[in-house]
Structure formats: structure tokens, C-alpha cells
Chain A
Amino acid sequence: MSIIKVDKLTKTFTTYERGGTFREALKSLIIRKKKIVEALKAVSFEIGEGELIGFLGPNGAGKSTTLKILTGILYPTSGSVEIMGYVPWKDRRKYVANIGAVFGQKSQLLFDIPPLDSFLLNQSIYNIPEQTFRKTMKEMVEMLDLEKIVRKPTRQLSLGERMKCEFIMAMLHQPKIVFLDEPTIGLDVIAKGKIREFILEQNKKGTTFILTTHDLEDVEHLARRVIVVNHGEIVFDNTMDRLRMHLGNKKSVRVTTHNPLSSLNQPGILIRKLHSDREAEFELDLSRLKLNEFIKRLNEESVISDMSIENLEIETIIKDLYGREV
């Protein structure tokens, strides 16, 4: 069942162009050239209850604008959005009581006081009953190993500890949908791992997550479905498995041989990097060249000393999607 329905969502902004030279800066004080930017061009999609979606796109593609409309921050130019029966920008107050948001680059915590005080302020704002508040906080604090942290002033916390507290801040009121905007930006692998574990745990309990990130590892670990936007339009909307197959049945191969490589110039092989005449990285298109035949021929001609075969990196696929003109 769809919990989020977005239909033909459009958003245009008016910006003013200004040149880089001093003369142009001076001119822009009097005359400014107006520019209409179409951030979203009739975007449509639906998201089901309990889904964990990766919402991707290059910088300026329109993903933050979409997120801001979905969280009730911005009004769209046209189109419709219905989330849990609410129109975000019309029923904002009632609607946002049911959602949470974590912005990796904007903190909801107050810098000079402990996170616990910020949590208590949120308790008042969301009108969370005392017992529910204590229970939820205890659970989350334990899950994220923050027992000794929540009473320290926020400014003394590490980025990882702070980000974990941001999650508690966003989820104390037990929202049905949580929007995550770059939630693991700048974190080390351990903190990232803990946060990913937390997201998966909450998702198992039924919370829907919409994850916007440039960290493709986050997407690979968490998302089961991916929506890619580019130039204000959706260029991909399907499962992670489909995304992996997006560029066809291809493998990423790295090989080292005893003799110089001789059989790489043939259909089905795209050389990515030639380290030396005996070591190379390339893409193998299995629809054009069978893997066993390729290995057999390579071994006969050059004698393989080391080899790794992996699925095509998600980054390669995303780069392809980002690079396409709509």
C-alpha cells in the first residue's frame, strides 16, 4: 500500500544571473537578469509503507527540492503530493508530527548543552507522554551506545556521536516516515556501520525511510529500491538488483598475467586501466563474451597469475545515469 503518492510534481525557482567581473557585479546592482530554473519537471512516484528507498542524483538534480516539498518545507509550483492522507504544505503541522528528518549538514541539537536537554525540548514540542519518551529514549540510547554521551555538552561530542544523537532527536516521537539527507557524511566506518544497523533495525519495525546520499555504500547496504533524479526528472526507479543490471550483464575484472596481455582488444571488453603490459582492469560484457571462454583464452595466451571477478561497481552504473542527458 502506498504511503507516499507524488504526481507530476513541478517546482520552478526564479534566480538572478550575475557575471564574475567587477563591471558585471556593478551592473547587477541596477539591472539583474532573471533566470527561471526548473528544479523539478513533473516528477511522479509512489512509495509503499515500510520501504527503504535510496533517492539519488548529482548535485543540483532536484533531490533536495523534492525532499523539501515532501517534508512540507517548500510549496511546489504544480502537481500533487499525498503522504499518509496529508498534503505536506497544506496540513504541515499535523503532517510533520508523523515524520522525522535527519540532515547530515544541519544539526537539530543545541551546541552548548547536552543532547538530553535537546531531547527534552523535542518532548515538549511533540507533546510526547513522559512514559513513552523515557522508554523510546532508553531503547535508542542503548541501541546506539550513547549511555555516557547524552549528558555531555554537544560541542564536546565527536561527529559520529553527534550524528547518532541527531537520529534520536528525529525519532523520539516515533515517526512513520523518516527522511535522511546525507546521514553518514564525514563519519568513520564504525560510526557508519552503527547508524546503518540502527536504520535497518527501525525499518524492520515498520518505519519507512527515504535516504538521500552521495555515499553509494549506504545505498548498497540499506536500500532495496532506488530512485535516481537528474535534471529535475526521474531517470531510474526500480530495485537495487535491477540497478545492478542496468548496464547489462557485465563484470568488473582485474587480472595479472605472466606473459604480456594480448587478447584484450576484442568485442565485449572495455579496458578501464592498463597498469602494465601484464596487469589490467576492464569491464566484461557477458552477453557478448562468455566468461569461461574468455578465461580459457586468456590463460592460454598470457598465463593468469592472479584474477578477481566482481559485479560491476554501483558507482559505475550511477555515473552512467548521472551522465545521461534527459
Chain B
Amino acid sequence: MMRKKTSSIYQWIKIYFHGMKTSLASRMAYRGDFFMSMIIMMVVELFGPLVTLLIYHNGASFPGWERHEVLLLQGTFLLSRGIAFPFFMGMVWNTIRRVQEGTYDLLLIKPRSILQMSIITAFDSEDLGKLIGGLLLFFYALKSVPALPLVNWGVFLLLFVFSLITMFAFGLFMTGLGIVWVGNYRIYEIFISTMDFGLYPRSIFTKVFQSIITWVIPISLLGSFPASALLGKEMTGVFGAMACSIGFLLLGLWFFHRMARNYTSAGG
């Protein structure tokens, strides 16, 4: 049983890397566009932190957070986005586009789970620019932070995994909606706007809003909680947010599969 499970995980990873290689080869067929897109993505991602620098430059601040701490939070947030977008969030666009064109059928005739096929065929190399931007900002901010205990790094890594889980759950909801709500690209914009609350420390929001982004949609796990863990700041409600993240993932999986069942295909 265990062996079978390991073998199927190995298969999953093997297919994923093959899909990634194929997608990269496709994108690299147009070299100029490949590099330009990555650079543009990286620059666009750094706009948010630029606003933070302006705020601090003008004497204002986020209460309880130093400039380099906010940058570290935003670096964490961008890092999470930089991993999620190229490696699995592409499933949202992939699904919306394929459902609209009628080529989603081609994924359903493959002997793999529809979720796996949606991810394999959606690796987005352009979004690697987001990852580079996230890494640059994270390490730039880290330079101003004194040496951190190992335990902080451990908790940070754990919470970072939870931030990816939350991102993945978001992706599942949007992909599910994309299956039944044909051609609705606004879903994506709503998601981006909602997610942007994760760019700022949780403490700057009202108590009610803090509860929402902790207990209902755990956006605070995208940047605020992992950065707080790394900096040794207070993390009230972190266990609730982690539980909420798991719940969000399970609900997302259920929702995705429910919507996939309702797929009607395009006319033939």
C-alpha cells in the first residue's frame, strides 16, 4: 500500500516535471518575449513594496512594524506568490481558457486526475519573474534584520507551507468557478484584489477584519504570520488560521470536484 502510494507520488512528480519542461520549451521558442515577460512580471511585483518605501520615507509607518520588517513581510508574500503562480496557479487561466475553447475535453481523456492535468499543462514560466522579485525583496529586507534563532526559521518554514496551501485552496475555488462560469475572467481580478490584503501587517486592520482574514479566508497566512514568526512577533490566532487553511483546502477540493462534475463541454 505504502509502496503504491510512493510510486504514485513519484509518477505525479515525474509527469509534473515533464509538463514543466514542455511548457518551458514552448515559451522559449520566442526568446525575446520569454525574457521580457519575466522582467515585466518582476518589476510589476515590486510596485507594492515601493509604496511601502515611500510611506516610510515620508515619516509615516505601519504601527508596530519597522520599515525592514514590512519589507520582509512583503518579500514573504511575494515569495509565496512567486512559487504559487508559476507552479500551480496557472491552472486557473488554463481552465478558464480551455473551457471557453472546448479543449478542456482533451484533459478529461487522459488517465490522470483532472486536477493533476490542469496543473501539469499550466506551468507558467512568465511568473518566474514573480519568484525572482520575491527572492530579491526577501533577501534585501533580511540584510537589515539581526541574526535570527533557528527555531524562528523552523516556524517560518512551516507557516510558509501553510501560505502555499492557502494559495492552492484559492486556486481550487477559482478553477472550479471557471469550469461552470464560462469565460468569466473577473474571477481572477477579484482574487488578486482580495489577496492584496496579505501585503500588509495584520495589525493595521480593524479587529473584525483581522478576524475575517484569520478565521474565514486565511489571507494573514500569506505574509503576516510567517513574517511575524521569523521576526519573533506576536501571532495571536495563528493556530486558528492554520486550521482554517486546512479547512479551506478541503472545501476547495470538494468544490473543484463538484464543479468538474457539472462540466458541460462546448458544442461539437
Interface of A with B (CB < 8 Å)?
A: 13, 63-65, 67-68, 71-75, 92-94, 96-97, 99, 101, 103, 106, 108, 110-113, 117-118, 120-121, 124-127, 153, 181
When the two chains form their complex, are residues A74 and B265 in contact, meaning their CB atoms are under 8 A apart?
yes
- Tell me the nearest residue of chain B to A125, going by C-beta: B110
Contact among A13, A96, A113 with B110 in the assembled complex (CB-CB below 8 Å): A96
When the two chains form their complex, are residues A93 and B26 in contact, meaning their CB atoms are under 8 A apart?
no
Provide the residues of chain A in CB contact with B18, threshold 8 Å.
Answer: 120-121, 124
When the two chains form their complex, are residues A94 and B111 in contact, meaning their CB atoms are under 8 A apart?
yes
In the assembled complex, the Cα of A101 lies from the Cα of B109 at a distance in Å of 8
CB distance from A43 to the nearest CB of B (A): 16
When the two chains form their complex, are residues B110 and A68 in contact, meaning their CB atoms are under 8 A apart?
no
25 pairs, CB–CB < 8 Å, chain A vs chain B: A13-B264, A63-B268, A65-B268, A68-B105, A71-B108, A73-B109, A73-B263, A93-B111, A93-B113, A96-B109, A99-B109, A103-B105, A106-B102, A108-B106, A113-B29, A117-B22, A117-B25, A118-B22, A121-B19, A125-B15, A125-B117, A125-B120, A126-B110, A127-B11, A181-B268
Interface of B with A (CB < 8 Å)?
A: 11, 14-15, 18-19, 22, 25-27, 29-30, 102-103, 105-106, 108-113, 117, 120, 261, 263-265, 267-268
Majority secondary structure, A binding face: mixed
In the assembled complex, the Cα of A96 lies from the Cα of B111 at a distance in Å of 5
Provide the residues of chain B in CB contact with A63, threshold 8 Å.
Answer: 268
In the assembled complex, the Cα of A92 lies from the Cα of B260 at a distance in Å of 13
With A64-B268, A125-B110, A126-B111 given, name 15 new contacts (CB 8 A): A67-B268, A68-B265, A73-B263, A74-B264, A96-B108, A106-B103, A112-B29, A113-B26, A117-B22, A117-B25, A118-B22, A124-B14, A124-B18, A125-B15, A181-B268
Known contacts A110-B26, A127-B11, A64 near B267 by CB under 8 Å:
yes
- Tell me the nearest residue of chain A to B268, going by C-beta: A64
CB distance from A12 to the nearest CB of B (A): 11
Provide the residues of chain B in CB contact with A99, threshold 8 Å.
Answer: 109
CB distance from A281 to the nearest CB of B (A): 34
CB distance from A49 to the nearest CB of B (A): 20
Provide the residues of chain B in CB contact with A106, threshold 8 Å.
Answer: 102-103, 105-106
When the two chains form their complex, are residues B110 and A73 in contact, meaning their CB atoms are under 8 A apart?
no
When the two chains form their complex, are residues B263 and A74 in contact, meaning their CB atoms are under 8 A apart?
yes
In the assembled complex, the Cα of A13 lies from the Cα of B111 at a distance in Å of 26
In the assembled complex, the Cα of A113 lies from the Cα of B22 at a distance in Å of 8
Provide the residues of chain B in CB contact with A124, threshold 8 Å.
Answer: 14-15, 18-19
In the assembled complex, the Cα of A93 lies from the Cα of B116 at a distance in Å of 12
- Tell me the nearest residue of chain B to A121, going by C-beta: B22
When the two chains form their complex, are residues B25 and A73 in contact, meaning their CB atoms are under 8 A apart?
no
> Which of A65, A72, A121, A126 neighbours the largest number of chain B CB atoms within 10 Å of its CB?
A121
Contact among A64, A71, A113, A126 with B25 in the assembled complex (CB-CB below 8 Å): A113
- Tell me the nearest residue of chain B to A212, going by C-beta: B268
Provide the residues of chain B in CB contact with A65, threshold 8 Å.
Answer: 268
In the assembled complex, the Cα of A118 lies from the Cα of B265 at a distance in Å of 23
CB distance from A226 to the nearest CB of B (A): 19
In the assembled complex, the Cα of A121 lies from the Cα of B25 at a distance in Å of 12
- Tell me the nearest residue of chain B to A72, going by C-beta: B108
Provide the residues of chain B in CB contact with A74, threshold 8 Å.
Answer: 263-265
CB distance from B227 to the nearest CB of A (A): 38
In the assembled complex, the Cα of A93 lies from the Cα of B22 at a distance in Å of 23
In the assembled complex, the Cα of A157 lies from the Cα of B11 at a distance in Å of 32
When the two chains form their complex, are residues A71 and B109 in contact, meaning their CB atoms are under 8 A apart?
yes
Known contacts A73-B108, A92-B108, A94-B111, A68 near B268 by CB under 8 Å:
yes
Provide the residues of chain A in CB contact with B263, threshold 8 Å.
Answer: 73-74
When the two chains form their complex, are residues B29 and A73 in contact, meaning their CB atoms are under 8 A apart?
no
Provide the residues of chain A in CB contact with B19, threshold 8 Å.
Answer: 121, 124
Contact among B26, B110, B264, B265 with A111 in the assembled complex (CB-CB below 8 Å): B26
In the assembled complex, the Cα of A185 lies from the Cα of B18 at a distance in Å of 31
CB distance from B105 to the nearest CB of A (A): 5
Provide the residues of chain B in CB contact with A110, threshold 8 Å.
Answer: 22, 26
Provide the residues of chain A in CB contact with B120, threshold 8 Å.
Answer: 125
In the assembled complex, the Cα of A112 lies from the Cα of B268 at a distance in Å of 25
Q: Which 6 pairs from chain A and chain B are nearest by CB? A: A64-B268, A97-B111, A112-B29, A124-B18, A112-B26, A73-B108
- Tell me the nearest residue of chain B to A111, going by C-beta: B26
CB distance from A105 to the nearest CB of B (A): 8
- Tell me the nearest residue of chain B to A182, going by C-beta: B268
- Tell me the nearest residue of chain A to B25, going by C-beta: A113
Provide the residues of chain B in CB contact with A68, threshold 8 Å.
Answer: 105, 265, 268
Provide the residues of chain B in CB contact with A94, threshold 8 Å.
Answer: 111
- Tell me the nearest residue of chain B to A92, going by C-beta: B108
